[in-house]
Amino acid sequence: MVPIERPLSRRTALGFGAKVLLAISLAGCDAQNWYGTDVSGSMPDLDFTLTRASDGQIVKQTDFRGEIVALFFGYTFCPDVCPMTLANLTALTQSLGENAGRLSILFVTVDPERDTLEQLVRYVENFTERATALRGTDDQLIKLTRRLRVTYKIADHVPGDANYEVSHGKSIYVFDAEGEARLIWPSFETADADIAAATRDIERLIADA
């Protein structure tokens, strides 16, 4: 005998609907508490092998374990997005006060041809001591950008010609103290970037560590 599907009683239907609405409401409230987009569980953990510009040492993601990481891709010849983004990240570290030491800003160059280690050091020193400039081989950079689904493009140019354009994304990738991807800030390049809201994101991750 084929079972007959019976309609839900009015009371049961209302109760079920109320539970669904409550779940949606709670999820919405939780999402709204973040300034960035919550990517927990939908993006891979932090994983890289790159060269630290300040001392030429090879570093991995484990060297930053225990710290909140804000990862940004750019290049030192960038005329607008990179300097404004780093300036805003510097303001963020200042707003963290005594918690500033819990945040590491990683600036990964997508233009290793022009961005020598010395050039990278000089560049980030203009902003904050909490910023670490990183440079990789072509293979290392490709591996990291593909892992995080980051796009960038270097304009065609004659080898040795230093006058060329680079296009890259503006997003900042935020990882918690365990190296797990937690947030993406879509852009931090404008003078009216919400530093206070971003600071709350970092403080919340610090509290959860």
pLDDT of residue 31: 52
| Distance set, CA 120 to CA 93, 103, 104 (Å) | 20, 20, 16
Q: What is the pLDDT of residues 41-66, one digit of tens each?
A: 999 999 999 999 999 999 999 999 99
User: Does 27 score more than 50 pLDDT?
Assistant: no
Confidence of residue 102 (pLDDT cuts 50, 70, 90): very high
- pLDDT over 90 for what percent of the chain? 73
- DSSP characters for 138-178? HHHHHHHHHHTT--EEEPP--TT-----EEE---EEEE-TT
Is 29 annotated as a binding-site member? no
User: Does 146 score more than 80 pLDDT?
Assistant: yes
- pLDDT over 70 for what percent of the chain? 85
Is 82 annotated as a binding-site member? yes
Determine which of 18-27, 45-54, 134-143 has the lowest per-residue pLDDT on average: 18-27
Q: In the chain, what are the domain boundaries?
A: 9-35, 39-208
Question: What value does the mean pLDDT take over residues 15-39?
Answer: 58
Distance CA 123, CA 209 (A): 31
Top CATH class, 39-208: alpha beta
User: Does 20 score more than 60 pLDDT?
Assistant: no
pLDDT of residue 159: 82
Question: What value does the mean pLDDT take over residues 93-118?
Answer: 96
